[in-house]
Chains A and B, each alone.
Chain A
Amino acid sequence: MTVAGLDNDKAAAGAKPDAGGDSRSPARRAFDRFMRNKSAVAGLIIIGLMTVTSIFVPILSPKDIQTVSWEYVLSPPSLETGYWFGTDVNGRDLFVRTFYAGRISLAIGLLATAIAFMIGVIYGSISGYFGGALDSFMMRVCDVLYALPTLFFIIILVTVLGAKNIFIVFMCIGAVEWLTMARIVRGQTLSVKQKEYVEAAKAIGLPTSKILARYIVPNVTSAVIVYVTLLIPVNILIESYLSFLGLGVQEPLTSWGLLISQGSVEMENAPWLLFFPALFLTVTLFAFNFIGDGLRDALDPKDR
C-alpha cells in the first residue's frame, strides 16, 4: 500500500529520464527530478539528521546544556576527554551546546517562516481575490513596508517589544518577512480566480471565506513552496544576526548565533568555540539552499 510519490526507494530506483509519452503524473515527475538532484537529497538528509539529533539530544547525552566541569575550562576538542568539540570558558561541553543551540535556531527558523507564510498567504490571497481599491491599498502598504530595511525593522520591533525571548524573536522575524510571499500569492490568486471551478463555487453560492479557504489558498500555496524553503535559512540567519548582536536569544538558552558571538570573543585562545557553531550554521544554511534550488529545478525544469 504505497501512494505514488511517497515511496522514496521506489522513486529513486525507478527514475527514468523525462521523455515524451511519459505516463507519470506531473507531481511524480517533479518528485523524481528532485530525487535525482544529489545535492538536494544530501541537503534533505543533513537537515533530517540535524533535526533528529537536535530533538533527541537531551536523551542521547548525559550532559546538560549547563553542566559545568571546572577541570576542563577552554579544553580543546579531544576524543580522550570526551569533549569532542572542546569546552567553553565555563567548562561547558560545546558538543552538547551546539546541538541545543541547533534546536533553538532550527525552531526559530521554521516558526518564523511559518508565520511569514501564514500572513503572506492570507494577505496575498485576500488582496488578489477582492482586487480593486482594496487590492491597490494593500499593495501600497506592502510597498511602504518594503522601503523599511528588514534587519532594521526587526531590530526596532524586538527592542520596542522589550522582552528578549524566543517567542518575540520569531514573531518579529515572521511579522517582517511576509512581504515577498504576499506578492507572489497575490499574483497567483489573480490567475486562479479566473478559473472555472472558482466560477462554479461562486455560482452555487459558496460564501467568499469558503471560496478563499477551499479553492484559492490550496491552489496558490504551491507557487510559494520554493520561496518558503529558501526563507527558512534566511530566517535562521536573521535570528543568528540578532543573537550575535545581543538582541536575540539570551543565556541560559543558546543559539548558533549566540555561540558564534561568544566564540568570536575567545577566538584567539579557543578557535574551536567559533569553528563548530559556525560549521553547523553554515552546513544547515547550505542544506536548505540546496533543497530550495532542487525544488525549483524540479518544479520548473526549463533552466536545465
Chain B
Amino acid sequence: MCFMAAKCGAVSSNALFHLKGRDAGRVMLKLIARRLMVAIPTVFIIIVLSFLIIKMAPGGPFDAEAEIDPEILANLERAYYLDRPIWEQFWRYFTNLLQGDFGQSFIFRDRSVADIIIQGFPVSAQIGLWAIFIGAFGGIALGIIAALRKNSFVDYGVMTVAMTGIAVPTFVTAPTMALVFGLYLGLLPISGWGGGALPNMILPIAALALPKIGVIARITRGGMLEVLRANYVRTARSKGLRESIVIWRHTLRAGLTPVVSYLGPAIAGVMTGSVVIEQIFGLPGIGRSFVEGAVNRDYPVVMGITILYATLIIIMNLIVDLSYRLLDPRVEMSK
C-alpha cells in the first residue's frame, strides 16, 4: 500500500487534469502506444517461455501404459510435427497462434484447443465476473464503513469478517457451503453447470466472491484512511463542507485508486476461472481444462490457457494504468 501511495505521491505539473481536449487525448494515445510497446514483447516472451518450459518436460503425451509400436510412435510424432527441430516447431506454433489456431489437444483428438477455450471461457468468465462484481461492491462498501468508523466496534467487526474471508481458503468454504445449502437444507444444486442455470451458479459465485470481499474491504479501508489524513481533506472540512460531500467528492476518488489497481489483474484472474472452484462444483470452465491438461500432459491445452491468461492480465494492467491516470491527476502522464 505504501508503495502505491509513493507512486501516487509523485506530484507532477504535467498532469492530465490541466490539459484540455486534444492535448489530453494526444498524451493518452502516446501513453497507450508506449505501453503497447512493452506489452506486446511481454506476451511474446511468455509464449516463448511456456513453449520452452513444456518442451523441456520429461515424458511425452504418448507415454501410455502399453508400449506403442515405434513405427506408430514415429507416425504420431510426425503428425504433430514433434520430429522437427524445436525452432521450427515454435515458429509453426506461433504463426498458427496469430491466426487464432491454438493447436490440437493431444488427449481429446477431436477437439482443438480453441474449441476447449471457446466452450470453457464463457462459463469461467460468467462465474468470475459475477464474483468480482459482488466482491467489489461488498468490499468497497464494507471498507468505507470501516475507515469512517476507524478503531470502533464496527471497524473491528468488518476487519474480522474480511480476515476470515481471506484466511479461510475456498476449498474449505466451497464444500462447507455445498454441505449446508445443498445437502442439509436442499436449497441449491451442489454440482454441475446445468447449462448456466442460476441456482447452479449461486454457490460457486458465493465461494469465489467471499475472499474478494475480504481483500477489497481491506484495501479500501487502507486507501481511505490514507486519504482521510490528507491536508486537502482537512481543508475541505475546515471550510465547513458537509461530511457527506467531503467523503463522496473529495475522498472517494483518491481513496479508491488502490482498489482499481487490485481489480484489474483480479478480473483477469477470476475470468480465466478459479481452478479449485471449478473442480469442486464440477463446472466445465477453462480452469478445470487447465488442471486436466496439466495432469494429462496435454501441452497445447496448458499453453493455450496460459497464454490467454497472461494476455488478459497484461490488457487489464494496461486498462488499470490508464484509468489510474484519470482517477488521480497527480500521476505523471509522460512516464
- Distance in angstroms between the alpha carbons of A267 and B295 in the assembled complex: 25
List residues of chain A with CB within 8 A of the CB of B197. Answer: none
Stretch at the interface among B80-88, B166-174, B230-238, B251-259: B166-174
77-124 of chain A: CB within 8 A of chain B: none
Instruction: List 5 other contacts, CB 8 Å, given A241-B169, A289-B163.
Output: A155-B294, A162-B59, A244-B276, A267-B175, A281-B169
A303 touches B269 (CB 8 A): no
Q: Given A149-B269, A152-B309, are A282 and B168 also a contact pair (CB < 8 Å)?
A: yes
- Whether A289 contacts B166 by the Cβ 8 Å rule is yes
Q: Which residues of A contact B123 (CB under 8 A)?
A: none
- Supply 5 A–B pairs (Cβ within 8 Å), ascending by A: A148-B309, A160-B56, A247-B294, A260-B175, A267-B175
Report the minimum CB–CB distance from B272 to chain A (whole Å). Answer: 8
Chain B nearest CB from A239 CB (Å) reads: 11
- Min CB distance, A187 to chain B, in Å? 8
Q: A196 on the interface (CB 8 Å rule)?
A: no
Q: List, in ascending order, chain A residues with CB within 8 A of B53's CB.
A: 156-157, 160
The smallest beta-carbon distance between A189 and chain B, in angstroms, is 15
B275 within 8 A of A: yes
Tell me which of B42-50, B69-77, B239-247 binds A: B42-50
What is the size category of the interface that chain B forms with chain A? 35 or more
CB distance from A53 to the nearest CB of B (A): 20
Tell me, yes or no, whether A138 is within 8 Å of chain B by CB: no
Q: Using a CB–CB distance below 8 Å, which chain A residues touch chain B?
A: 143-144, 147-149, 151-152, 155-162, 184, 187, 233, 237, 240-241, 244-247, 257, 260-261, 263-264, 267-268, 271, 274, 278, 281-282, 285-286, 289, 300, 303
Select which of B57, B163, B179, B310 is within 8 A of A149 by beta carbon.
B310
- When C-beta atoms are compared, the residue in chain B nearest to A160 turns out to be B57
Complex interface: chain B residues within 8 A of A147 (CB) = 42-43, 46, 310, 313-314, 317
Contact A162 B58 (CB under 8 A): yes
Cβ 8 A contact of A245, one of B58, B276, B305: B276
Q: Which residues of B contact A184 (CB under 8 A)?
A: 3
B275–A245 CB distance below 8 A: yes
Q: Is the CB of B57 within 8 A of A143?
A: no
Question: Are A156 and B42 touching (Cβ within 8 A)?
Answer: no
Contact B276 A289 (CB under 8 A): no
Could you tell me if A264 and B280 are in contact, using CB atoms closer than 8 angstroms? yes
Contact partners of B225 in chain A: CB under 8 A: 303
**B172 — which chain A residues lie within 8 A by C-beta?**
260, 274, 278, 281-282
Which residues in chain B, 174-203, are within 8 Å of chain A measured between CB atoms? 175-176, 178-179, 183
Rounded to whole Å, the gap between the CB of B181 and the closest CB of chain A is 13
Q: How far is the CB of B188 from chain A (nearest CB, A)?
A: 15
Least CB separation from A238: chain B residue: B169
Asked whether any CB of chain A lies closer than 8 Å to the CB of B306, the reply is: yes
Whether A257 and B171, one on each chain, are in contact in the complex, defined by CB atoms closer than 8 angstroms, is: yes
**With a CB–CB cut-off of 8 A, which chain B residues contact A246?**
295
The CA-CA distance from A246 to B183 in the complex, in Å, is 25
Q: Shortest Cβ distance from B107 into chain A, in angstroms?
A: 14
CB contacts (< 8 Å) of A143 on chain B: these are 38, 42
The 4 closest A-B pairs by CB, nearest first: A264-B175, A160-B57, A278-B172, A285-B167
Q: Which residues of B contact A247 (CB under 8 A)?
A: 291, 294-295
Asked if B54 CB lies within 8 Å of chain A CBs, one says yes
> Which residues between 26 and 42 of chain B lie within 8 Å of chain A, taking CB atoms?
38, 42
